[in-house]
Structure 1
């Protein structure tokens, strides 16, 4: 593959970003070179399919690439391959495919696409995505996929059809990969999964023990723990709270509630209640007062009535998460809820707009509370418009005009928006 130049474009979550890093690593070891799209012989599009808007972005991007680069080989990878192969076939029947469980065969598929052949490798494997070749997109941030799949059965979700049942990876390999990344100069370790708190539910291990083992590694670094399903957190709540108290762990809890209505949560098949969510947040806040809370909300689930919607708004007002990820409900391929009637689209837009306004107000008010305070930040990258981007110990983004990528700095917060803070250095 010494003469093959490859461009990788990624949609979606941190887990998908890590998949792209593995594909890049496999290709580099095979002798291919990574390059920009114009120079590439083969384009890999690593797709996400979790939301309706993302589906349209992916489809439009595939069509656009085919129009702009008809002579280049195209490999479609990621979740779309497993979830909606019929639609993929209809829009790009001459593309090669690579399923998200088949990353170690990336070079094989890319080689075929380079020769003008169509090769499609899909289906599930038990391959472990730790301790494998990888090229980091940010040399200071190392993403570790601690498990793949989930143990849930959410009625609206199609991702589980691409990722499968929970498969936790051995903790000793994970810790070793973290150690090697830190020794190589990484300053942030991101633990990612479809549900990080489900880690070990199939092997008898616990996420809290894994976090503690990683924080015992010598060095000055931070650990970001990815999204945790409330139902999974409950099986190890006290252990997780204590693990998060380490100064090496970002005080950041991503806990998707999805709805403030117990009735809707039951219809969604979430496996937790609103009070479970409240209790988890209260337990973390009681032991880690500075912790920032992120949550996800789905507006307009087919069985969501006006009272259910208002319960969601009241819950957000009560808990006041610093990060709120909002989605409008839309049917997803193969999901159970797609058999239900969607609510009127005008009503969906009204509810979404109301929550969007509520979200903006809450997150900006929460960030404003930090104006005038001094924060310790880890600078992780240069800003696209100049300056530097850092993260507070609570994982809140900070823009500062001076600094050094990879350094910890003490800054004073001057202003706040709903999404980030603006600071000046105190050093």
Structure 2
């Protein structure tokens, strides 16, 4: 598990984002360090009210970079003026609040702890459908906290989902260390995820369902059946998080990932065939110890080819006790350069996708309060849409509303109710 240090500056909204980040990190088996010097990763949640504040943020980022192994910068300054950190020579991952847990986890599978139970967080119902995983990735320490896969029955999970809906959930988030292998332990190595999702969508009520991280190998064997379930059920967000981690089969083998690049592409192609509009989310680990320049170029080429709408770029860092920690690592400069190159390509890809949405109309579901008088919403493909002046429009979490996309940032778009 990672040891993290988080510092928060600015308003109440920033503090709320940091609490959400910490909750997700702790759910993943990670824990706070005594200070930045003892942390595997430091997280700086920034403010950008005045010029003096910006200078203070840059100075603190420089201090944290010197004290800890990896630095993740988020918050208002990161989103509005993220380029200033690079210009100041700060070696950091600059990401949106929602991307911090993935950036901090070093490519490890996000997971809940073994005693996790369904919870209702506002109008969001969080449903862990299984515990543990079937993978043995060379860089991941999370498995020590979760063990082998343990899947409750489909019926048991459906009843938990029904209880969350009856309690007021308008968005169900299906979670697990690897949702794609749900049921492998009770169904002779074949996923029960399609059946589970079909059954959950049959529950009466007005709600949407988001499927959490699913490794490509688990999805590959049921890709056609799973894509059909998405196509047939409007309650399902057309969203799939399938972390490829590298565009090189050689690196994937050293990582002990269970899939090859071609299998990942077959999953993507299948969903492209079945769905008119959907969001692919994927992850890349940059600077794995055995990654050559050619391997890195293959990852860049894969990213440019598939053009996912959500991309988590993580710079490799060693986790104690993992096999990858015993490998001779790449130099910090190499990792920094490769991470910068991929992050720039990521911003280009995602920015173009969001720019293309301006002028479109989408029905969205309001799910969380945003910064100030705004609300965070999701469209049918789970793209984040920010509606400002929410009180003026009378929009609260749980409401559905039609919006016109009026503007965009790199990681999300803005919508105006019509």
TM exceeding 0.5: yes
Gaps of 5+ in 2: 1-17, 44-63, 65-111
Name the CA distance, whole Å, in 1 between partners of 2:341 and 2:194.
37
- Whether the 8 Å CA contact 2:216–2:267 is kept in 1: the answer is yes
Q: Quick check: which has more Rg, 1 or 2? A: 1
Return the TM-score normalized by structure 1.
0.71
Superposed displacement of residue 370, structure 1: 0.9
1:140 maps to 123
Structure 1 pair 237–218 and aligned structure 2 pair: CA distance change class (3 A)? same
Distance in 1 (alpha carbons) for counterparts of 2:338 and 2:373: 36
Which residue pairs with 2:351 in the alignment? 364
Residue matched to 2:413: 421
How has the CA–CA distance of structure 1 residues 295 and 13 changed in structure 2, closer, same or farther, with 3 Å as cutoff?
A: farther
SS in structure 2 opposite 1:375?
A: strand
Q: Please name the residue that 1:412 is paired with.
A: 404
Distance in 1 of aligned mates of 2:243 and 2:314: 12
2:192 paired with 1:206? yes
Q: Distance in 1 between matches of 2:192 and 2:24?
A: 21
Tell me the residue number matched to 2:94. none
1:264/1:199 Cα in 2 relative to 1: closer, same or farther (>3 Å)?
same
| Contact 1:9 1:46 survives alignment (8 Å) | no
What value does the CA root-mean-square deviation take over the aligned residues? 2.5
| 8 Å Cα contact 1:18/1:145 also seen in 2 | no
1:385 Cα deviation from its structure 2 partner = 2.3
Q: Distance in 1 between matches of 2:38 and 2:296?
A: 22
**Residue correspondence of structure 1 range 252-271 to structure 2 within 5 A:** 252-271=239-258
Determine the C-alpha separation between the residues in 2 that align with 1:198 and 1:336. 23
> CA contact under 8 A between 2:180 and 2:214: conserved in structure 1?
yes
Distance in 1 separating the partners of 2:186 and 2:238: 27
Choose which of 272, 277, 280 in structure 1 pairs with 2:259. 272
Q: Using the alignment, how far apart are the partners of 2:331 and 2:215 within structure 1?
A: 29
Partner deviation per Cα, 1:393-427 (whole Å, 9 max, x = no partner): 1111111123222111110001112111101101x
Number of the residue aligned with 1:383: 370
Distance 2:228 2:268 in 1: 14
Aligned residue among 268, 277, 287 for 1:281: 268
* Distance change >3 Å, CA 243–CA 13, structure 1 → 2: farther
SS of residue in 2 equivalent to 1:189: strand
**Aligned residue-pair number:** 322
Q: Which runs of 5+ in 1 are unaligned?
A: 1-7, 20-44, 61-98, 104-128
Deviation at 1:10, TM superposition (A): 6.6
Structure 1 contact 262–273 (Cα < 8 Å) conserved: yes
Deviation of 1:146 (Å)? 0.5
Pair 1:187 & 2:170 matched: yes
Distance 1:377 1:166, change over 3 A: same
Question: How far, CA to CA, are the matches of 1:191 and 1:383 in structure 2?
Answer: 22
4+ residue runs over 4 A deviation:
8-19, 45-48
Structure-2-length-normalised TM-score = 0.73
1:147 match: secondary structure: coil
